[in-house]
Structure 1
Amino acid sequence: MNSLYKDSRFRYIILANLASSIGSGITMIAIPWLLVTSDKGNEVFGFVAICMTIINFILTPYLGYLIDKVSRKKMIVSSKVLSLIALILFSGVGFLGMEYELWHYIIIYMIGSLYYTIFYPTMFALNQELFHKNQFKVLNGTMEVQGQLSSMLAGAIASVLLLKWDLHYILLLDVCTYALAIYFFVRIPYVRTRKEKAVSVSTSEAINFMKREPGLFLFLLASSLPFIGVMLTNYLFPVYLADVLEVEGDIYGIQGMVYGLGAVLAGIIVPIAARIWEDEKLVAGTMILFTMAISVMVYLPVGGYLFMMLLIAFGNGGARVARNAFMMERIPNEIIGRVDGLLRAVGLLLRIVLLGVFTGLVSMGEIMLCFMILTVILVVASVFVVVFSRKSLRVAGRQVLKV
């Protein structure tokens, strides 16, 4: 643990992520708000969100191939530079005295969505490449804490800036944080060690790898369900609070803070628990906790709902920390981008289908049926996680799987 914190590469990564996460987080809170409060913006935002999910689904496998083919550091820096240039241009619109129109908001949102699609899997692969396997658990726990604290700070700052600043000043702040992040990423000592022949194949290599390890594929796919569930409940929870519990908006704000607290606790506790239990057992335990919490929360009053939200956050954050460490230890670095891209693509497809189903059910006033469907899916996924963590994955031992 101490060796990780003393590593200059780790410190630069944390500082870069803090800077860019806060800046981009503020912008990605401000832009949806400005979109939905524009004339007909609510309908437009829903359409844009679905379109971007489909675009990300199409791009994800190819991005996974690029992550394995080119320098991951250059890929991150390049994406940040391009985003910075785009934000400078859009910030200039306001400084020139021009009015922002709906299409400006749409383009900025699309840029932010594409940036996230590139950044997170690339950062995941870069972390695996830079650090030793005995550091993965603490590394992923620290990244979880950093990410949640950045999100909470971005939300707090955005709530103030949306009332005080015009959009071009918010975008300029984002530009400054991106520039700072680029500086820190450039400072990271990095020598690409992978061989070119290891990436001479296409995404089919990831598919073939998963075919040879069906238990591993099912485990990784099923263990991604908590994250997919959280993405879906980002749509369901506001509707549930307003239409079923009939509470004021402050409860939604408190829910966000409670969720952040639960995720931070997961980032701290799970790496400590990993000294005692194996990653797959931690994934199974936190996923069961997530499933139980989400299955009962809709039958509880506001106080119980918020407590279940704490458990949901802990379950999702804990499963993600343990799952990421598990993947880093068992998936070869030369194909991690394509394997991760394949899993993300399947997850995005599932999100698209379920979001379409849930949108239709909510329009008919059947939000409780949405939660029932989600619970059934999570129970099935949890069974896969438990079964394969006890059988198929035990066969693999603690060795990295070979291509």
Structure 2
Amino acid sequence: MNVRKQVFQIIGAIFFGNFGSSVFSFATSLYILQRTGSALGMGFTLIISPIVTLLMTPYIGYVVDSFNHKKILVFSQLGTIVALIIFGFLLIKFAKYYFVELIVLLVFLKIADSFLQNTLQSSVTQLVPKENFQQLNSMVQSSNSLATVVSPLVGAVLFSIIPFGYFAFFEVISEIVTLYLILLVKFGTQQSRGVSGHIGESFISGLQFMRKNSMILVVSLFIAGLNFFMAAMNVGLPYLQIHVLKLSTQQYGLTESSVAIGMVLGGIIFQLFKRQFSVPNAFSFMIMFAVILSSLGVPIFYNIGSSATTIFYCFANLVLGCLVIFINTPLIAYFQTEVPADYQGRVFSIQATITSLLIPIGTVIYGVLFDLISGTWIFLGSGITLALISLVAVIRILKSKTEEDVIAR
């Protein structure tokens, strides 16, 4: 197997899939806002993702753990392509029903996307040797971030020159490229033995597996927890920079894009380290993340001017983006190494559900907090809390490892 070629085919498939979806999602938000003139309609489309993820969790894990992974990927791509083509023609011919058509399409696309992401995560053991797990995972996250940076720019340009109905056909092209690259990827022998019992039983057995394996449960909760604390950034930074520190929208846009750019750079830097990072390493990076998070409210106390403030937040977000790669990559690789193949679909699906639920919960909680308390203390408190939790986790992991070594002797 040509590992380098295999990795680039996988990364290409993920990039084009995410790029097309991100451009379409960006255009969808603009279109709904343009047609309704209300942020409520646009906001309604945003709640579809966590709802679909929650409802589909038992089914996605069951299918991924029971059926051939390459076939799942191919059928999910074909389904996406057919749905987009039908939607494109319906929107052009029956434009007045656009909202219903969009909701149905977004639900279908979210289901297909969930199958795609979960199946790819659960297929790593079939795609590359164990020593390349972390390399592949870091490049996947960087690819996702690059699509996040590029897609709004492309979406804004296309939205100004073509009717919205044709965006579906633009994504069809992107999905066809994704399908072609998936067909090129060589899958090894699938080690999954299949899942016994019906869907409900398989889901419960996945939960029981995580409960019995405390390390896997802790790692899963920490991946989700990181997204919860990132809600402090997602909610607090726009509020502080625009309403409190009076930065321009251009300056805010620059600082906001720094996180995604940092993740792209983090993936590149990660490749330069010719070593495997452990779970304790990931929690150590989490402590560094917490320290920077706690400092994000500092500019409120010092009048350093808008330019210096912009530079401060650009640098902080850049480093935070890099750290996200160094945190997530070893943790995801740990799942792929330690979770048996016939449980990975369910474990990744459950973990994704926890994350998707914690993000809106964190958004609501931090939204209320930033209305009541100074952002400086919120960031400081969040950083200290995250650092203490990470420190306790590192100590516990190292202690468990020591005890296992003693028993082994």
Output the CA distance in 1 between the equivalents of 2:195 and 2:97: 47
How does 1:143-162 map onto structure 2 within 5 Å?
143-162=140-159
Partner SS, residue 244 of structure 2:
helix
Partners of 2:312 and 2:163 in 1: CA distance: 39
Aligned to 1:355: 363
3-state SS in 2 of match to 1:189: coil
Distance 1:273 1:381, change over 3 A: farther
1:171 alignment partner in structure 2 = 168
- What is the rounded CA distance, in whole Å, between the counterparts of 1:395 and 1:51 in structure 2? 45
Cα distance in 2 for partners of 1:354, 1:207 equals 23
Structure 2 Cα separation of the partners of residues 210 and 63 of structure 1: 17
- The CA deviation at 1:235 is 4.1
Q: Which residue number corresponds to residue 215 of structure 1?
A: 215
Equivalent position of 2:390 in the other structure: 382
Deviation of the 1:348 alpha carbon: 2.9
Distance 2:55 2:402 in 1: 34
Counterpart Cα distance in 2 of 1:45 and 1:368:
30
What amino acid sits opposite 1:388 in the alignment? R
Whether the aligned pair in 1 keeps the contact of 2:9 and 2:184 (CA below 8 Å) is yes
Q: TM-score, normalised by structure 2?
A: 0.84
SS of equivalent to 1:297: coil
Instruction: Report the RMSD for the aligned CA atoms in angstroms.
Output: 2.9
**Offset, 1:176:** 1.0
Report the equivalent of 2:304.
none
- In the TM superposition, residue 22 of structure 1 has moved relative to its aligned partner by 1.7
Q: Give SS of 2:296's match.
A: helix
Report the counterpart of residue 251 of structure 1 in structure 2: 251
Q: Is the 8 A contact 1:19 1:181 kept in 2?
A: yes
Offset of residue 37 of structure 1: 4.2
Q: What do the CA deviations read for 1:252-293 (whole angstroms, capped 9, x no partner)?
A: 321243222211122122344461x63213311321222122
Contact 2:228/2:359 (8 A) holds in 1: yes
Distance 1:221 1:182 in 2: 32
Bigger drift between 277-286 and 334-343 goes to: 277-286
Cα distance, 1:246 vs. partner? 1.8
**Stretch moving more, 357-366 or 293-302:** 357-366
> What are the equivalent positions in structure 2 for 1:195-214 lying under 5 Å apart?
195-197=192-194, 202-214=202-214
Q: 1:127 aligns with which of 124, 131, 134?
A: 124
Q: CA deviation at 1:381?
A: 3.6
Is the CA contact (8 Å cut-off) linking 1:223 and 1:385 kept in structure 2? no
Give the number of equivalent residue pairs: 393
Q: 1:4 is matched with which residue?
A: 3
Choose which of 73, 78, 99 in structure 1 pairs with 2:75: 78
User: What is the identity percentage for the equivalent residue pairs of Structure 1 and Structure 2?
Assistant: 20
Letter aligned with residue 73 of structure 2: I
Distance 1:121 1:252, change over 3 A: farther
Inter-partner Cα distance in structure 1 for 2:238 and 2:73 = 33
- Which residue type is aligned with residue 261 of structure 1? I
CA distance in 1, matches of 2:9, 2:77: 15
**1:183 and 2:180 matched:** yes
Pick from 314, 338, 344: which aligns with 1:306? 314
CA contact (8 A) 2:293 2:380 kept: no
Range that drifts further, 152-161 or 345-354: 345-354
Bigger Cα displacement from structure 2, 107-116 vs 334-343 = 107-116
Supply the AA of the counterpart residue of 2:329.
Answer: V
Q: CA deviation at 1:38?
A: 4.0
Contact 1:222–1:385 (Cα < 8 Å) also in 2: no
Quick one: distance in 1 between partners of 2:119 and 2:107?
Answer: 19
Evaluate the alpha carbon distance shift between residue 11 and residue 245 of structure 1 in structure 2; reply closer, same or farther with a 3 A threshold: same
Change over 3 Å in CA distance of 1:181–1:3 after alignment to 2: closer
- Structure 1 segment 4-403 matched on structure 2, within 5 A: 4-7=3-6, 10-39=7-36, 41-96=38-93, 98=95, 101-190=98-187, 192-197=189-194, 202-230=202-230, 233-273=233-273, 275=275, 278-300=277-299, 301-361=309-369, 371=379, 374-375=382-383, 377-393=385-401
User: Matched residues in 1 for 2:159 and 2:402: separation?
Assistant: 51
Matched with 2:306 is none
